[in-house]
Chains A and B, each alone.
Chain A
Amino acid sequence: MVGTGSMEIIDVLSDVNAATLVPAGPLSVSESVRIPSLTSTVSELQPVWEKYLLCDLVNYFNTKYRDELFSILYRNEFLQMLLRDVIDFVVKELQDSAEQFNIGISLEREDPEDPEQRIIFLIVCGKWKFRDFNERLDAMVKVWKYMESRKNEYLKNFPLDRSKIEEAYFLVSVFIGEEGDDCEVFPTR
């Protein structure tokens, strides 16, 4: 997300196995179809979904900042849903385009008036079959468009929660890195 130049990166969460929800280690393409806990749709959600979804997501990202991540996601259930849906989509959509990839998350603070708020960046790094940057960019566009479609779907299904849904939409960004990049995001100076 575009910031003002004073953005502070406060977290590094990286290298999670998207297929099995077991932290650390690259995603094997052959394993990447096994994502049972990240595949339910809005219409299938059960009354207890929120509790399990939140726990799944917090455990999914292998971080020492578990409590902070929990509190960020706890604020907005649509943030949880959007993250879950985007991760699910990324894993399915990119498996044929990669030999392996990792999904990391970076939490960045941009608004000094709302110190609790964090911008969430999903960072996907790997060894791609893309021939050039433009193909990777096209893959990013596909993920972004999917994110937008999920937002519209949430708005349709939960019209009373518009502000929460839009907040979640603005708080999440997705980047696809390349081999040589790192899912780690170092603190800014």
Chain B
Amino acid sequence: MHATLLAGTVPLFLGALLSDIAYYRTYEVQWTNFASWLIAGALVFCGLAIVFALVNLLRAAQKKGRPLLYLVLLAITWVIGFINALEHAKDAWAAMPLGLGLSLVATLLACVTTGIGLAKRRAGGAA
């Protein structure tokens, strides 16, 4: 469950990024609508993943190192994503180009965080 939520964050932010690129190139506003909903979806997945990560950390014997790093990165990803959601709430081209930049940062962060999170999972083994 935790892994699904975590892994789901990546394609949602990536979808937002691709939609933003499409809007940037075509001025077709439907793309920025898509991006807004994809970001909202990413925030739900990412937010629930944070809850799992927090519970895992509290239950873990060792409360430092990789599990902590993972949680912090996940939280930063969510905050960037949330700022991006507000940026995308601006009308029409007002969301550009900052919205596109934030989508790029959020996507990269989600990738890195997921890599770290899943690596931990391979090492820890718990489902």
A and B form one complex = no
